[in-house]
Amino acid sequence: MELDIERFEGLKALLNDVSTKTREELEARILEFACITQVAKDVSSTLKLEECLKILADRIADLLSVERISLMLLDPGTRELVIKMSKGLDESIAKQTRIKLGEGVAGWIAKEGKPLLLTDIDKDHRFMKKDSGYKTNSLLSVPLKVKDKVIGVINVNNKVKEGVFKEDDLNVLMAISELAAIAIENARLHEEVKALDNMKSNFISNVSHELRSPLTSIKESVSLLLDEVSGSLNADQKKYLEIAKRNIERLSRLIDDLLDLAKIESGKTDMRRLFINIVTIAEDAVSSFEVLAGNKNITLGIRVNPPVIKVWADPDKLTQALSNLIDNAIKYSPKDSSVMVEVIDKRGVVEVSVSDNGIGISEENINRLFDKFNRLEDAIQNRVKGTGLGLAITKELIQLHGGEISVESKPEEGSRFCFTLPKDLRKR
Ligand code: ADP
């Protein structure tokens, strides 16, 4: 970001003819210039709107030594200016104030997009004398503009010491407002995106919860029918009920995955970390897939080095992440192939990998592999069941542990999914 030095008439003149001005005066101007840059830097240091506005109000108050300051933002819905941060202003006034475009000084600034310095307050038709207990001698009001669009207004009343605001004060405030507006807009957009994302996660979470109970009762009823509790079934009836059962199970898996993901994304996942041996976790996960691998005559093996590798991790979440990878390796591999799980201590980190000789993944598909609901054409064509959420969840679970996941793969040769975890997160 660059400041427009041309605007600072006084500074320009001083720089042209240093000898005619005192050194102190020159230094004061340079300091002022540095302060403006610092304010812009400070204001941009956060993406939290309230924090951003507070820093801005504090720094302007310090820099210009003012009695009152109010930062107003334009409500995009009502098109009214609302005070979002103030100093030296009665809180109830700040809360109530709503200014329409064109109304009073701030409304005029927002409508015209121009700055204003007023010293002859009483004679100006734009000045509304609402707060009778307070007397304004001089005021500065400047627009907060992003690409010519006014997003708010900064108002400043009265110098703390005697005297009135001068053109130079207005220029300082203008320079700050130009830089601050971008930071404010960024923070505002960031908060909007965060709010939308939260809404989306809550919506998914609520809907999934609501779907769960009726689904459980459908599942139980179908199981009772299949167990012939209410009478014997003919072959066709059994066949159709089996289809229903399989699809109910698929739907349950999808709902569980959606709930898991919504929970992780909204930051509501409880991490129950323990100092555990990750080798045991991997061995248990491998044994729980022996039957599934056996059904396809897949050799499922595990290699570890050394036999005990302690990590500070949530055992259930690690099991879930590793199980997703083993499940995929088996699902996307042909009969009579092999899947190998390796757990290796690499000093500060532990590396866990799952390798298969399955269908593999092409280079252009690797990048979107961890996206939600992403199922590759091969998986769909081969009629392998899945929700397309497993890898997205796995990635989140690994990241919750401060780890990283990567994949190497060649079509028709196989894939190797590998994640690394820091052994002791407490040291991070
Ligand atoms: P799914 O429930 O479909 O398995 P995942 O998120 O676990 O969802 O995986 C996303 C997609 O990545 C899969 O649909 C599949 O196309 C591909 N994939 C995942 N693991 C493998 C693997 N080991 N080999 C080949 N393709 C894989």
**Mean pLDDT value of segment 277-292:** 96
Q: What CATH number is associated with residue 420? A: 3.30.565.10
Q: Both 297 and 408 in a single domain?
A: yes
Q: Is residue 33 part of a domain?
A: no
The 3-state DSSP composition of the chain as helix, strand, coil percent (nearest 5) reads: 50, 20, 30
CB distance 246 to 226 below 8 Å: no
Q: Both 319 and 390 in a single domain?
A: yes
Q: Both 329 and 259 in a single domain?
A: no
pLDDT surpasses 50 at 1: no
**Mean pLDDT value of segment 358-371:** 92
- pLDDT for residue 182: 93
Q: Both 224 and 290 in a single domain?
A: no
Q: Both 411 and 334 in a single domain?
A: yes
Q: Is residue 99 part of a domain?
A: no
Percent of the chain with pLDDT over 90: 63
Q: Is residue 251 part of a domain?
A: yes
> Which class for 82: exposed (0-12), middle (13-18), buried (19 or more C-beta within 10 A)?
middle
pLDDT surpasses 80 at 34: yes
Q: Both 222 and 279 in a single domain?
A: no
Q: Both 421 and 278 in a single domain?
A: yes
Degrees (nearest 5) of the Cα angle 394, 398, 402?
160
- pLDDT for residue 263: 85
pLDDT surpasses 50 at 417: yes
Q: Both 278 and 420 in a single domain?
A: yes
- pLDDT for residue 162: 79
Tally of domains in the chain: 2
**Mean pLDDT value of segment 370-382:** 80
Q: Both 250 and 382 in a single domain?
A: no
> Could you tell me the distance, in angstroms and rounded to a whole number, from the CA of residue 407 to the centre of ligand 1?
11
Q: Is residue 380 part of a domain?
A: yes
User: For residues 179 and 302, which has the higher predicted lDDT (pLDDT)?
Assistant: 302
Beta bridge partners of 117: 140
> Could you tell me the distance, in angstroms and rounded to a whole number, from the CA of residue 384 to the centre of ligand 1?
9
Q: Which residue matches tokens 């108050």?
A: 61
Q: Is residue 218 part of a domain?
A: yes
Q: Is residue 331 part of a domain?
A: yes
Confidence of residue 68 (pLDDT cuts 50, 70, 90): very high
Confidence of residue 20 (pLDDT cuts 50, 70, 90): low
Site to substitute for ligand 1 among 332, 340, 341, 410, most atoms within 8 A of C-beta: 332
**Mean pLDDT value of segment 213-221:** 93
> Could you tell me the distance, in angstroms and rounded to a whole number, from the CA of residue 315 to the centre of ligand 1?
23
What is the domain range of residue 210? 194-265
Of 233, 265, 297, the domain-final residue = 265
**Mean pLDDT value of segment 210-218:** 91
Q: Both 417 and 283 in a single domain?
A: yes
Q: Is residue 402 part of a domain?
A: yes
Q: Is 138 helix (H, G, I), strand (E, B) or coil?
A: coil
CB distance 196 to 53 below 8 Å: no
The pTM of this model reads 0.64
Atom of ligand 1 nearest to the CA of 378: 16
